[in-house]
A and B are shown apart, each in its own frame.
Chain A
Amino acid sequence: MLSAGTPEARNGGTATAEPVLRVDGLTAGYGKHVVLDGVALVVGEGELVALLGHNGAGKTTALRSIVGQVRPKAGSIHLDGAAVTGMSPAVTAKRGMSMVPQGQGVFPSMTVEENLRLAAAVATRRSSNPRPQDEVRAFVLDMFGILKRRHKDKAGSFSGGQRQMLAIGMALMTQPRLMLLDEPSTGLAPVLVDEVLAAVRKVNQELGTSVLLVEQDTKRVLAVSDRVYVIKLGVPVFDGTPAEMHQQDWSQLF
């Protein structure tokens, strides 16, 4: 894993190592309404990067543009050095992005086991996978004990926190190059938020999966991230490490 401290790593490495994700000048919106204006961000190999900002800052739109649910008006998105700008979500998923959408990350009429198996089937259609499926599956079930205990239960019977864990598990079964999480803490009790964020960090450190995490809960996120971006009303206002973030006047950022 690259350390996040050096300037090279912060910018996703030098010319020799392309970052996993590079977003430049991303401008996006709905109709004539511009939500994001010139956002740039980089996620290096094995990094956990957080994208913070208030409600309506454009965080979710940024994620949706990156995975292809929203077509950018301007700017470019590169995954492992290859342009994926404006490609459909199914294509960006095949290329190695896996988004965990806010709230609705599971298929409620299917069992836990079926949800995970379907996600794994997507990955088996890809040519190169770093790990055997069984290993990833064991990791997921080990990390989220509830998924093992309620293997045969329908995901629709799960609580919000349990669904979030299953959704993360599904994203991992696709063996992504980059996992993108949209506010995984929404609607969860604080103790569950800690559990979910700890799990995201564990995935990042033990599987080496690069992560782009969108959140509102700034304090908790700073504790687990390598680097942080803040956007305000669609415009980037901060880019740095959690330590640098702590020295900022947060009232200017949010």
Chain B
Amino acid sequence: MDLLLSLAKNGVIIGLLYGLFAYGMSLIIATSGVLHFAHGLTLVGSAYSFWFFFQEKELGVFVGVLAALAVGGLIGVLVELVIYRPLRRIHATDMVFLVASLSVLTLGQAAIVFIFGTDPKSVRPNEFLRWSADVGPFNIRTWDLLILGASALAFAALYLLQRRTAVGLSFRAVGDNPQRAETLGIKLQHTYVWVFLAGSLVAVLPAMLLAVQNPVTPSMGFDLLVKAVIALVIGGIGSMPGALLGGILIGLVESLATYKLPTEWAEFTLYALLFIFVIVRPNGLTKGALRTA
């Protein structure tokens, strides 16, 4: 029983990370209409930046975090400016956007292999990160608390952004009806840049948090992307509770599956879950559904 509870706790914690990553992507998709698979590259790029400046160059955690934020934000904005904006100008179909986005992800991963090699990098946990305490049946690590705190803060900030600020409201307006938003005086191109920046910065949190617990590898972006897509199919695009719920459900299923199944089967259970949702509830648990560009 204790093992099951402990697995459930781990599932929820990692699920929060999945949810956070998925929601950043979902924010971008809901506003721009682009299935932004290159979001995976934002994650890899910022995880490597964090590892490089914090671990390799030993410039301290502050520089590491700043570098990760800068690189993550830059990747998102550059992909929008260099790839999506020209495609939008020629009225490319959703399929073209999708292929372009996947190409960016694979090219980016190849570039990282070229620069840093394929061997996994790891951030050695310091004293602070090695701390843990037993609370009832749970072993609570610094990492768990960091994820709880970071995701609570990030979700609260994103909620306020989209309800209280003009730029956040314009994200939702453009997602609803870009033509109407434009006649109201909202510059679509500016809005897209801002939403790619915001969504990408959100991905930097899971990137850094994963980097301190797991090996940093070139393929980590793709792995997380697959989970984010499943989370969004379950939870619905553009919905905050949906992304959270989808993420946590994936974390739980993946973690609890190891109770009875060998660990390498964990991923299989995810695809089984995805399959069930695609057949039974293709629009997800919440009402946010895939919108065409």
Contact = CB atoms under 8 A, between A and B. Distances in A.
Contacts of B169: 110, 114, 117-118, 121
A87 to B, nearest CB: 12
A121 B185 CA distance: 10
A211 interface: no
A173 to B, nearest CB: 9
Contacts of A121: 166, 169-170
Interface residues of A, number: 26
Interface residues on B, range: 10 to 19
B186 A90 contact: yes
B183 A98 contact: yes
A90 B172 contact: no
Nearest to A97: B183
Nearest to B163: A114
A114 B166 CA distance: 9
B90 interface: no
Contacts of A89: 179, 182-183
B112 interface: no
B261 interface: no
B180 interface: yes
Nearest to A167: B180
A133 interface: no
B239 to A, nearest CB: 10
A69 B181 CA distance: 12
Contacts of B185: 90, 93-94, 98, 122, 125, 174
A110 B176 contact: yes
A170 B184 contact: yes
Interface in A151-178: 170, 174
Given A90-B186, A94-B185, A118-B184, A108 B170 contact: no
B64 to A, nearest CB: 36
Nearest to A123: B185
A77 interface: no
Interface string B144-187: 00000000000000000001001001101101110111111111
Interface of A: 67, 69, 88-90, 93-94, 98-99, 101, 104-110, 114, 117-119, 121-122, 125, 170, 174
A106 B163 CA distance: 16
B163 to A, nearest CB: 7
Contacts of B187: 90
Contact of B173 (A69, A93, A107, A174): A107
A145 B185 CA distance: 26
A93 B184 contact: yes
Contacts of B186: 90, 122
Given A69-B183, A121-B170, 4 more contacts: A93-B184, A107-B176, A110-B176, A114-B172
A67 B183 contact: yes
B188 interface: yes
A90 B177 contact: no
Which 7 A-B pairs have CB atoms at the shortest separation, nearest pair first?
A93-B185, A121-B166, A122-B185, A107-B176, A118-B169, A89-B182, A90-B187
A1 to B, nearest CB: 26
B186 to A, nearest CB: 6
Given A118-B166, A121-B166, A98 B184 contact: yes
Contact of A101 (B163, B176, B183, B188): B183
A136 to B, nearest CB: 15
28 contacts: A69-B182, A88-B182, A89-B183, A90-B182, A90-B187, A93-B182, A93-B183, A93-B185, A98-B183, A98-B184, A99-B183, A101-B179, A101-B183, A105-B180, A106-B180, A107-B173, A107-B177, A107-B180, A108-B176, A110-B176, A114-B163, A118-B169, A118-B170, A118-B173, A122-B185, A122-B186, A125-B185, A174-B184
Nearest to A124: B166
A110 B179 contact: no
A122 B183 contact: no
A171 to B, nearest CB: 8
A110 B172 contact: yes
Nearest to A119: B184
A90 B188 contact: yes
A99 B181 CA distance: 11
A150 B238 CA distance: 24
Contacts of A122: 184-186
B167 to A, nearest CB: 9
A104 B178 CA distance: 11
Contacts of A170: 184
